[in-house]
Amino acid sequence: MPERPGTFRERFPGLADRVYLNSNSTGLVPDEVEGVLHGYWRTLSSWRDDMWDRFFAATQDYADAVAGFIGAPPGSVVTDLNLSTLLARVASSFTYEAPRNKIVLTDLEFPTVTALWHGFSRYGARVEVVAGKGPDFDEDALVAAVDERTRLVCVSHGSYSTGAVLDLAPIVERAHAVGAHVVVDAYQTVGTVPLDVTALGVDFVLGGAQKWLCGVSTAFLYVRPDLLETLEPAVTGWLAKEAPFSSGPTDGWFGDARRFRAGTPVPLGAMMSAPGLRLLADVGAERVRAHSLACTGRIIERADRLGLAVLTPRPAERRGGVVCLAFPGGQQAVESLVADGLVCSWRGSLRVGPHFYNSMNEVDRFMDALGERL
């Protein structure tokens, strides 16, 4: 029987002597990561060129572990340092001649997404931003915006600013009906909201370890396997081609997601992120989600009693792992809470993000302390 959420406290040194409810911004890493760092130093201090084989194997093992966690087959996920880099490779795999040059976004996207697609306007991409319903997505308007002129729909699974979760199924269905592809930014949800990319039929999914996957300095890209051999990213590098270590030119692309690699990687991020992913997988995505909903539900209940505005949608199926609260003096309250060892974050609202290693007692301690500062 997998361990229950909340029973891993001794494996996360970042929980010692404080209440940490900030996994929506930066998740904690387990103590096993310390050994990874020491091992990395030992490798560097006794370097031989064949160490690259170990590094590439460790990176691929992590990519395949991510694939398993999101319901994808091995070989369909690639990793790199950040989501921006990987999204640029996806964007560079398409052309943007009219009339099929529309990119559909929402106004709840992380700034990276909006900035990147506006940058691609110089190559012909035409960006259309669909307004949400305040802090929530407007799925009907989003579906209506997708038509035969649409090249890509690029949307967040969860909003970084409100915690709202988008129902992806009707978006994927509509996009495929008109010949468009769907790119999902799941950085704000993967690890706390279950996601089965195969069942969903989505084309591309991006995410990262920094938040709910309990890792650091690595991001991932999933590509639907039957699309892979049709895609040739212009933003590329020597590691995207077969036999990259051969002495001659290599023109053939890898047949799997490795065709979305680029230059020499930094393997340490994937290596440090593997232990946290293993713990999450041991608990199971559904159990993590149930614990998260219980914790965020308690935060909303306590916020209502305190008279605070809750920006996050209330229905369980509409919210991710973070609750966003608005009230006068909110930023000062965050600073005071953090100074007293009650860690949360401020991004225009107070954001509280409990994870599977947190307890309900911690949630109550945090809300008690918040109430004292109002």
Q: What pLDDT shows up at residue 1?
A: 32
The burial class, CB within 10 Å (0-12 / 13-18 / 19+), for 158 is: buried
Q: What pLDDT shows up at residue 245?
A: 79
Are 187 and 219 in contact by the 8 Å Cβ rule? The answer is yes
Q: Is 102 helix (H, G, I), strand (E, B) or coil?
A: strand
CA-CA distance, 198 to 117, in Å (whole number)? 26
Q: Is 350 helix (H, G, I), strand (E, B) or coil?
A: strand
Tokens of 194: 């279950």
DSSP string, 171-220: HHHHHHHTT-EEEEE-TTTTTTS---HHHHT-SEEEEESSSTTS--S-EE
pTM > 0.75: yes
Are 228 and 256 in contact by the 8 Å Cβ rule? The answer is yes
Is the omega angle on the peptide bond into residue 99 within 30 degrees of 0, that is, cis?
yes
Mean pLDDT of the chain: 95
Percent of the chain with pLDDT over 90: 92
Please write the tens of the pLDDT for every residue from 276-321: 999 999 999 999 999 999 999 999 999 999 999 999 999 999 999 9
Q: What pLDDT shows up at residue 118?
A: 97
- Please count the other Cβ atoms lying within 10 Å of the Cβ belonging to residue 266: 13
Please write the tens of the pLDDT for every residue from 209-254: 999 999 999 999 999 999 999 999 999 998 998 888 776 666 789 9
Q: HSE of 163 in the Cβ direction (CA atoms, 13 Å)? A: 32
- Residue 288, Cα to own-chain centre: how many angstroms? 16
CA-CA distance, 222 to 70, in Å (whole number)? 9
- Please count the other Cβ atoms lying within 10 Å of the Cβ belonging to residue 28: 21
The burial class, CB within 10 Å (0-12 / 13-18 / 19+), for 165 is: buried
23's CB contacts (< 8 A; 6+ apart) are 192, 211, 212, 321, 353, 354, 355
Q: What pLDDT shows up at residue 3?
A: 59
CA-CA distance, 92 to 294, in Å (whole number)? 41
Q: HSE of 45 in the Cβ direction (CA atoms, 13 Å)? A: 6
Please write the tens of the pLDDT for every residue from 251-282: 789 999 999 999 998 999 999 999 999 999 99
CA-CA distance, 39 to 316, in Å (whole number)? 42
